With several copies, the nearest count.
Chain A
Amino acid sequence: MARVLVDVMLKPEILDPQGEAVANALPRLGVNGITSVRIGKRIELEFEGEPDLDQARAVADALLANPVIETFTIHLEEVVAADTAEAAETGEENAA
């Protein structure tokens, strides 16, 4: 089985208050080496038959990401034995 992953991230110039909140909390956990935290969405699309990357891209473009504030990336993911490994088969970037 395969599925399509869509990663949606805020554009770098858009404030990510959630990421900032995490970054600010890190020193309290004793973590100091992390300079930046950005939080976006990871969306898993499962298809009935063969995954259709073009269709996934169209959905991401129209619905999953808002081009005013976000960019997205699409991968095809081979689901190997109970999720234990993960490999990005196809990587492509779409800045919509």
Chain B
Amino acid sequence: MTGTHEADRTENTFDELDTVDVASKTPDEPQPYAELGLRDDEYAKIRDILGRRPTGSELAMYSIMWSEHCSYKSSKVHLKKFSEKNPRTDRMLAGIGENAGVVQITDDLAVTFKVESHNHPSYVEPHQGAATGVGGIVRDILAMGARPVAVMDALRFGDAEHPDTKRVLPGVVSGISFYGNCLGLPNIGGEVVFDPSYQGNPLVNALSVGVLPVSRLQNKNASGLGNVVVLLGQKTGKDGIGGVSVLASATFEDGDTDNRPSVQVGDPFVEKLLIESCLEMYDAELVVGIQDLGGAGLTCALSETAAAAGMGMYVDLDRVPLREASMEAHEVLASESQERMLLIVSPEKVDDVLAVAAKWGVLATAIGQVTDTGRLIINWHGQTVVDCPPGSLADDGPVYNRPMKEPNDRALIAADRAETLPRPSTDDELRATVLRMAGSPNLADKTWITEQYDNMVGGNTALSMPDDAGVLRLDNSGTVGSGPIGIALSTDGNGRFARLDPYTGAQLALAEAYRNVAVTGATPIAASDCLNFGSPEDPHVMWQFAQAVEGLAEGCAQLNIPITGGNVSFYNQTGMTAIHPTPIVAVLGVMDDVRRRVPMGFTNDGDVIVLLGETYAELSGSEWAWSQHGHLGGIPPAVDLAGEQALAAVMKRAAEVEHVSAAHDLSDGGLAQALVESVLRHKVGARIKLPDHADPFVWLFAESTARALVCIPRGHEKAFGALCEEHDVPWTPLGIVDSSAGGIEVVDHFAISTGELAEASEGTLPGLFG
């Protein structure tokens, strides 16, 4: 193929195997690096690293590993802030950079959790895109040595009324439901938010959490000269080959990718078997290192495991079991076929590994060895097609300090305050507003979605939807542990707040997740995130991103909880218009005795309803401003992290000594919505009297932070009040739980029956989606 001229490119350049030998002899062979998303200087750097042009397979590998998704090239410089600001703690057994962060919670138990986006696939094929999103995050958790114990899902869709939302939402929900339910992982919470900014770009962020004995912690190091590289799980097919199809198409310009599905189809049944077989192998101490195959498939797993150990690796690619015989080397390397793991096994244990795999009916194949060459060498049809330093793929990708620019309309937006919008002025209008908001898509009951999720499989779910946080008992019959300890998890995010001010918005997301965990009585101990933004090449987006990271890192430092890891999703935009910046934050909490967890919802007649925290006239960015006026402007509510900590301290203590029978945090929709949800939970009403000085509108709809609604059983009011004073948490008795009220009665203002509330809140989603 020497002396190629233009005409040759119309034929498949790679019909003849592009080996390392061929590459050395044909330095001038034109290569489609630009079509693969590599810049001129990046391509030059690859040639520099290799001392020759890359082979087709190498080019495919570099283009994937140096993509934004794998290399974090735009975000890396900013994400450093997390490590820099993270509070010091002995609890972190694995942190940023691992498949998922691992937090020790007792002498012998640890928890790992992570959130990941699957936004773009879920837009193209909602069901499979969302399903494989769940599958992917679960494998990250599994790779740490943990048994995955639950999932959660944070979702953003376009306008609820838009026809495309009727395509995307049911598909996404059925995909999450199908994969998670079939895998046997309870779904214990999440979010659903509608906003036109997500119309062409919905967000599907999936979280998984796992539990492991500290001694079972795994790593991804391909260490130990002569150790065997084993591929476990599904056969490899042409799934998700995406951009790499450029290499296979007849002409590089021809975008015909019809036969190259970028859609991956998931098989949760195989994933379940993968989980059971990996856990059995861990317990028998059969693996030295392990890495899941996710984005970038074998390319990522091979290079990262070798690089992590500082070793070399030899792989015979012909041994990879294929679903289709006709695959080319670069396709096998790039395939994103689901339900696969890469194991590093010492030679004398290979037979045992194969036996465990056989027991569970999972395919396992030795495909290579760990070497001391420091090179990743891959053979295909007996010839070498890849020979490169693994670290150059995994760690030495480009890093950009992208230009950032504060948007020039900031002052204007800040001045356009929702506090000046027309407000309901009569009691009738207040009442109507409460009802309209309760039925608005963002605040309406989410049962139509959440009843498609199994929240109880595993038998350890102590709280889940519609409670503020998911709470799990760490079952001592399963993975060890000494008592009925529990963990709590919540995911939160508010794109409108972040749009108004990304620094504050990220902190508000953190504060909300922290508060949701705290109101159950758990102590927040760690956080993770998924940062969903527009294009990093847009300086305004880059500025938003940097601000959000800064805010989140600073917020975690103040709350004294570390960020254990996270995920960045860029390019969430339609044409030139980016989504609202949407940092999703997940907070993990622990509690000593899970039986003391605090649920939400009014239950016991006579309980005193108390509002914790201070209410200010903060309405900018609120659900009221958006749902009643279509308004987004002003400055979001003030962050009060010290207030959140004090609130958490009160809730923890009150839960321990059973001063509270129920609690619900205040967030979207303010006090009014918290009351609606608390009444609808068990259809038990309440009689409320606002303080004399209170502006009813502000008290009902403001979204001030560090607040919660709690129910205090009779006889505990005094002790509880003293506890609040001890921690400097403002507390205002508001009324009592009273089933004879028949709904919400705000004395001197209005009353709404439970039936009317239920009709408004519970009818919305079924009305929209069937």
Contact = CB atoms under 8 A, between A and B. Distances in A.
**Direct A–B touching, Cβ under 8 Å:** yes
Interface of A: 10-17, 20-21, 24, 66, 68-69, 95
Contacts of A11: 259, 261
Contacts of A17: 265-267, 269-270
12 contacts: A10-B265, A11-B259, A13-B260, A15-B237, A15-B265, A15-B323, A16-B265, A17-B265, A21-B269, A68-B124, A68-B261, A69-B261
Contact of A15 (B124, B337, B361): B337
B330 to A, nearest CB: 16
A68 B270 CA distance: 23
| Chain B CB within 10 Å, residue with most, of A10, A16, A20, A95 | A20
Which 10 pairs, one residue from A and one from B, show the smallest C-beta to C-beta distance? A17-B267, A15-B265, A13-B238, A68-B125, A68-B263, A14-B265, A69-B263, A15-B237, A14-B261, A13-B324
B239 A15 contact: yes
A21 B182 CA distance: 14
B128 interface: yes
B324 A69 contact: no
Contacts of A68: 124-125, 261, 263
A90 to B, nearest CB: 25
B234 interface: yes
Interface of B: 124-125, 128, 234, 237-239, 258-261, 263-267, 269-270, 323-324, 337-338, 361
A95 B258 CA distance: 10
A11 B239 CA distance: 12
A54 B692 CA distance: 71
B261 A20 contact: no
A68 B338 CA distance: 17
A16 B323 CA distance: 11
A30 B125 CA distance: 24
Contacts of A20: 267
A21 B237 CA distance: 17
Contacts of B265: 10, 14-17, 69
A38 B284 CA distance: 37
A15 B267 contact: yes
A59 B561 CA distance: 54
A13 B125 contact: no
Contacts of A12: 324
A10 B258 CA distance: 14
A69 B260 CA distance: 10
Interface-centre pick from A13, A15, A21 (highest chain B CB count, 10 A): A15
Given A68-B124, A68-B261, A69-B125, A13 B267 contact: no
Contacts of B260: 13
A11 B124 CA distance: 16
B769 to A, nearest CB: 13
Contacts of A13: 237-239, 259-261, 323-324
Contacts of B338: 15
B361 A69 contact: no
A62 B260 CA distance: 21
Nearest to A18: B267
A13 B125 CA distance: 16
Given A13-B260, A13-B324, 18 more contacts: A13-B237, A13-B238, A13-B261, A14-B237, A14-B239, A14-B261, A14-B263, A15-B234, A15-B237, A15-B264, A15-B267, A16-B265, A17-B267, A17-B269, A24-B361, A68-B125, A69-B128, A69-B263
Contacts of B238: 13
Contacts of B337: 15
A45 B687 CA distance: 57
Nearest to A12: B324
Nearest to B264: A15
A15 B131 CA distance: 14
Nearest to B171: A66
Contacts of A14: 237, 239, 261, 263, 265
A68 B343 CA distance: 32
Nearest to B268: A17
Contacts of B324: 12-13
B125 A66 contact: yes
Contacts of B258: 95
Contacts of A66: 125
Nearest to A20: B267
A14 B267 CA distance: 12
Contacts of A10: 265
Nearest to A95: B258
Query: Which of A17, A20, A95 is most buried by chain B, counting CB atoms within 10 A of its CB?
Result: A17
A8 to B, nearest CB: 15
Contacts of B263: 14, 68-69
A12 B238 CA distance: 10
A10 B239 CA distance: 13
B357 to A, nearest CB: 14
A21 B323 CA distance: 14
Contacts of B261: 11, 13-14, 68-69
Contacts of B124: 68
A11 B238 CA distance: 11
Contacts of A15: 234, 237, 239, 264-265, 267, 323, 337-338
B150 to A, nearest CB: 23
A66 B174 CA distance: 15
Interface centre among B265, B337, B361 (most CB of A within 10 A): B265
A86 to B, nearest CB: 21
A18 B306 CA distance: 35
A12 B324 CA distance: 9
A17 B265 CA distance: 8
Nearest to B234: A15
Contacts of A21: 269
Contacts of B266: 17
Contacts of B125: 66, 68-69
B237 to A, nearest CB: 6
B179 to A, nearest CB: 11
A21 B543 CA distance: 47
A40 to B, nearest CB: 13
Contacts of A16: 265
A66 B175 CA distance: 15
A52 to B, nearest CB: 24
A24 B267 CA distance: 14
A14 B361 CA distance: 21
A17 B266 CA distance: 8
A16 B337 CA distance: 12
A15 B269 CA distance: 13
B166 to A, nearest CB: 11
Q: Which of B238, B258, B337 has the most CB of A within 10 A?
A: B238
A79 B502 CA distance: 59
A66 B167 CA distance: 12
Greatest chain B CB density within 10 A among A16, A21, A68 is at: A68
A15 B261 CA distance: 11
Nearest to B323: A15
Name the residue among B258, B260, B323 with the largest chain A CB count within 10 angstroms.
Answer: B323
A58 B234 CA distance: 29
A16 B267 CA distance: 9
Contacts of B269: 17, 21
A14 to B, nearest CB: 5
A69 B265 CA distance: 9
Contacts of A24: 361
B10 to A, nearest CB: 23
A13 B326 CA distance: 10
Nearest to B361: A24
A23 B92 CA distance: 45
A58 B495 CA distance: 39
Nearest to A11: B261
B40 to A, nearest CB: 33
A93 B338 CA distance: 30
